[in-house]
Amino acid sequence: MRFGMFDSGVGGFTVLKKVIELCPNNSFIYLADTARLPYGVKTANEIIKIAEEISSWFSYQNIDAFLVACNTTNAIALDVIKKKLDVPVFDLIGSAASTIHESRVGVLATPSTVKTKAYTNAILEFKPKTFVIEQPCPEFVPMIEMDNINSDDITRVATRYLKPLLNENIHSLILGCSHYPLITPLLTEMLPSNVKLIDPAEALSFKLKLFVDAKESNYSNRKDIVDLKFYVTSNLKNFPNKAKHWLNVFPEVNLISLQNMG
């Protein structure tokens, strides 16, 4: 089967990895909207316009399902994406919220995601008595994109972001931006051992696997390998190195323009 997915940059790689683990031997079209990175400090109107353009582009890519690999767009414009695409849409926030069992939950996310309280609202829908605290982390995405993830700088920033959540005695911590699983080793080191880290891509992949398993029995065009196609909206030269670094593939990458796609 053929799946479309997107993020502002390398964050969606963490979703792609999890999905490939559970649903290998499929085709993936990954769009990194590098020209407009970072998304996490943009207004709701800007994100809605981006979501319209991206889903319009994907509506021409002959996909069987769409994966929203970006929490910020998920939080603000999931309905826009669902309206534009006539294939099943799998999202991070809804998928993760249904799997949360702890009574005190922390969320790290971009400022634009935190503003919507999308994680809090989605979790409370399933478990109304849960205590949820959300922390905006504006500095993480630029640092992760620059691969500045082993420095004293990022440790200092992470300490500052985690403090209010740890003061609230959380039992689990949701990585509410798809870039953040790339700093799992740092966060694991900093968290008390009783705090469970939750990557929403796991719940999304599980849902996708159920979909794939149900469809695959009558799907004629099965593949024996993972087929990856990458597209970016800028920085064409850097992207293959980033894919090599994070995914260990050195793909061909194509440059596209999303202007006037909305």
d(CA 174, CA 105): 7
The residue type found at 134 is E
Check residue 26 for interaction with ligand DGL (CB under 6 A).
Answer: no
For tokens 């002959």, the residue is 62
Min. distance of Cβ 34 from ligand DGL in angstroms?
10
CB closer to ligand DGL, 27 vs 71: 71
* Residue-by-residue DSSP string for 26-90: -EEEEEE-GGG---TTS-HHHHHHHHHHHHHHHTTS--SEEEE--HHHHHHHHHHHHHH-SS-EE
Check residue 30 for interaction with ligand DGL (CB under 6 A).
Answer: no
Cβ 73 vs Cβ 100: under 8 Å: no
Cβ 39 vs Cβ 50: under 8 Å: yes
Peptide bond into 38 cis (omega under 30): yes
Classify residue 156 as exposed, middle or buried by CB count within 10 Å of its CB (0-12, 13-18, 19+).
exposed
Residues 41-100 that bind ligand DGL (CB under 6 A): 70-72
Check residue 110 for interaction with ligand DGL (CB under 6 A).
Answer: yes
CB closer to ligand DGL, 70 vs 149: 70
Cβ 155 vs Cβ 187: under 8 Å: no
The residue type found at 202 is E
R_g (Cα) of the chain, nearest Å? 18
Cβ 85 vs Cβ 57: under 8 Å: no
Check residue 243 for interaction with ligand DGL (CB under 6 A).
Answer: no
d(CA 70, CA 37): 12
Check residue 181 for interaction with ligand DGL (CB under 6 A).
Answer: no
Which range binds ligand DGL by CB under 6 A, 48-56, 175-183, 225-233, 251-259?
A: 175-183
Pick from 171, 175, 133: nearest CA to 158? 175
| Of positions 40, 106, 136, 181, contacts ligand DGL by CB under 6 A | 40
CB closer to ligand DGL, 141 vs 253: 141
| Of positions 3, 5, 7, 203, contacts ligand DGL by CB under 6 A | 7
- Active site members: 70, 177
CB closer to ligand DGL, 10 vs 191: 10
| Of positions 3, 6, 11, 207, contacts ligand DGL by CB under 6 A | 11
Which range binds ligand DGL by CB under 6 A, 36-44, 120-128, 164-172, 224-232?
A: 36-44
Check residue 39 for interaction with ligand DGL (CB under 6 A).
Answer: yes
Check residue 242 for interaction with ligand DGL (CB under 6 A).
Answer: no
CB closer to ligand DGL, 91 vs 102: 91
Check residue 177 for interaction with ligand DGL (CB under 6 A).
Answer: yes
Binding site for ligand DGL (CB under 6 A): 7-8, 11, 37-40, 70-72, 110, 113, 141, 177-179
